[in-house]
Amino acid sequence: MEDSLNKPFEELKVKIENKKARIAIVGLGQVGLPTALSFVNSGYNVTGVDTNEELINKISNGMSPFQEKNLQEFIKNSQKSERFHVSTKIDESVENSNIIIVCVATPITKDIKPDMTSLKSVCDSLSKCDLNGKLILVESSLPPGTFEGLVIPFIRKSNQICWSCYVPERLVPGHAFSEIKTTSRIIGELDTESGILARELYKTIVQAEIILTTFRVAEISKLVENTYRDVNIALANEIGIICEVYGIDFNELSRVCNSHPRVNLHQPGPGVGGPCLPKDPYLLLNPFNSEQIKSDIILNARKFNDKMPDHVFSLIKRALLEKNKKIENSVISVLGTAYKANVSDTRSSPAEKIIKQLLDLGCNVKVNDPNTEAGFGGLYEKNILNTVKKSDLVVILTDHDEYKKLDLHILSDSMNENPILVDTKRVFDKKEADTAGFLYVSVGYHNLKEEIN
């Protein structure tokens, strides 16, 4: 009796071990596509499912739908292998697969509540499929309680034998493939069998430790990791502003403080963007189908980081005044609209708010980013030097590698008189900027006069 009960489990386990299990990845965004291609690369047959037809067409034509290191190469190799297919049809893809991995977005709404629309739609589709003998995994970040309250009721139907785990993704965009391989992986198991199957599967793409835990801990761990970073960045931002008040340089302060074995100050900057950090603390505090949890530190840190673009805007205005430049009609070059270095993603980028404030004030805003043409209303210019030419002020909002290679003398020579550099990411050394004739301003260091209103 026990043998026959265990048969579907053993069959799937053997299929996973022999790479004969067919995988469907639902949601081919920054997480889903690199995950799908990692499994193809390790020898599995994978179908990538997405509702976005434009994205599906791009991938079918061998094009990268977004900036990601080695993505183009992985897409080409997967096409050669003939083990990767893409589709907009979830039902068909699920029916033809043994393993389903859900990687759809789980954003927040305008009124800062978790938006589970995509996840609900996927769960609804799954509930109409025959899930017998299948392993269903969820990688999307979830508000605590969602796996148990939303996912499981949809997929666990009577008389069906299937397995499920919550396997949060921890990758950093831009380095997805290496991160999938080298970052330890958390598996939140629903039961022992589910955990065994998920571990067998992820072992084939992860070279780091695989940590099994309960699905409840796994769900919260993902959100706490990002909350930890958000709070630490907020602390660095606040200390940066304190440094400005005291007239000392944050970089020097952190060099000294971080020599302490138990201190690791993060770096201040223009604010926090991207698909995860600005929303995961809110997911943490908004359990599935329950009231928001009260928080003193996490919510205030979030709000503090959200206000950093206003601080940068104020630094820009003060620097222009200091050099007797008229704020209205001044020419400002914004370098970097992606939310972080060497990616094309502009989701929740601090650049958007800063550019909007500058435009509202009547500034002439030129924008460059080597990885995205998003200008947020500013005039996009592909060439960095053309962007900077005849500007009054350059503000660096993203520390792309391309910017690190710039020669400050060439920049200042091409700009209007009394050039200003607002280097929110500390790409350049202050002394180097002084030598090139810049008024140098950063978050965490400047020599500007009193705050203006």
Ligand X SMILES: NC(=O)c1ccc[n+]([C@@H]2O[C@H](COP(=O)([O-])OP(=O)(O)OC[C@H]3O[C@@H](n4cnc5c(N)ncnc54)[C@H](O)[C@@H]3O)[C@@H](O)[C@H]2O)c1
Which of 67, 97, 106, 342 is close enough to bind ligand X by CB under 6 A? 106
Quote the least distance from Cβ 29 to ligand X, whole Å. 2
Quote the least distance from Cβ 121 to ligand X, whole Å. 4
Question: Which H helix or E strand runs over 23?
Answer: strand 22-26
Long-range contacts of 11-18 (CB under 8 A, 24+ apart): 11/133, 12/98, 12/133, 12/134, 12/135, 12/163, 12/197, 13/196, 13/197, 13/200, 15/98, 16/99, 16/135, 16/197, 16/200, 16/201, 16/204, 17/200
Active site residues: 222, 276
Residues in contact with 84: Cβ distance below 8 Å, sequence separation at least 6, in sequence order:
36, 37, 40, 45, 46, 47, 48, 78
Quote the least distance from Cβ 272 to ligand X, whole Å. 13
Residue list 55-74, contact with ligand X (CB under 6 A): 55
Q: Could you tell me if 141 and 107 are in contact, meaning their C-beta atoms sit under 8 angstroms apart?
A: no
Cβ closest to ligand X, residue 139 vs residue 423: 139
Quote the least distance from Cβ 195 to ligand X, whole Å. 20
| Residue sitting closest to ligand X (CB) | 29
Residue list 16-55, contact with ligand X (CB under 6 A): 26-32, 49-52, 55
State the pairing for strand pair 84-87/163-166: unpaired
CA–CA separation, 244 and 253 (whole Å) = 12
Tell me which amino acid residue 312 is.
V
Quote the least distance from Cβ 351 to ligand X, whole Å. 18
Q: Could you tell me if 348 and 274 are in contact, meaning their C-beta atoms sit under 8 angstroms apart?
A: yes
Cβ closest to ligand X, residue 124 vs residue 429: 124
Cβ closest to ligand X, residue 49 vs residue 358: 49
Cβ closest to ligand X, residue 240 vs residue 278: 278
Which of 46, 137, 171, 265 is close enough to bind ligand X by CB under 6 A? 171
Question: Rounded to the nearest 10 degrees, how much is the dihedral formed by the CA atoms of 292, 353, 226, 48?
Answer: 100
Quote the least distance from Cβ 61 to ligand X, whole Å. 16
Tell me which amino acid residue 355 is.
I
Residue list 220-239, contact with ligand X (CB under 6 A): none
Q: List b or e across 241-252, with b for residues whose CB sees 16 or more CB atoms inside 10 angstroms.
A: bebbeeeebbbe
Cβ closest to ligand X, residue 54 vs residue 417: 54
Residues in contact with 315: Cβ distance below 8 Å, sequence separation at least 6, in sequence order:
422, 441, 443, 446, 448
Q: Is 273 in the site for ligand X (CB under 6 A)?
A: no
Quote the least distance from Cβ 216 to ligand X, whole Å. 17
Q: Cite the DSSP H helix spans in 161-191.
A: 176-182
Binding mask 172-211 for ligand X (x = CB under 6 A): -x--------------------------------------
Q: Could you tell me if 182 and 171 are in contact, meaning their C-beta atoms sit under 8 angstroms apart?
A: no
Cβ closest to ligand X, residue 36 vs residue 363: 36
Distance of CA 277 to the CA centre of its chain: 7
Q: Could you tell me if 231 and 46 are in contact, meaning their C-beta atoms sit under 8 angstroms apart?
A: no
Residue list 126-145, contact with ligand X (CB under 6 A): 139-141
The SS3 assignment for 275 reads coil
CA–CA separation, 352 and 256 (whole Å) = 34
Number of residues interacting with ligand X: please give it, by CB under 6 A.
28
The SS3 assignment for 328 reads coil
Cβ closest to ligand X, residue 287 vs residue 444: 287
CA–CA separation, 419 and 412 (whole Å) = 6
Quote the least distance from Cβ 91 to ligand X, whole Å. 11
225: phi > 0 → left, psi -120 to 50 → alpha, else beta; which? alpha
Cβ closest to ligand X, residue 103 vs residue 220: 103
Which of 48, 188, 275, 336 is close enough to bind ligand X by CB under 6 A? 275
Q: Which among 211, 171, 201 is positioned nearest to 39, based on CA atoms?
A: 201
Q: Could you tell me if 283 and 141 are in contact, meaning their C-beta atoms sit under 8 angstroms apart?
A: yes
Cβ closest to ligand X, residue 103 vs residue 308: 103
Quote the least distance from Cβ 302 to ligand X, whole Å. 15
Q: Residues interacting with ligand X, by CB under 6 A?
A: 26-32, 49-52, 55, 90, 103-106, 118, 121-122, 139-141, 169, 171, 173, 275-276
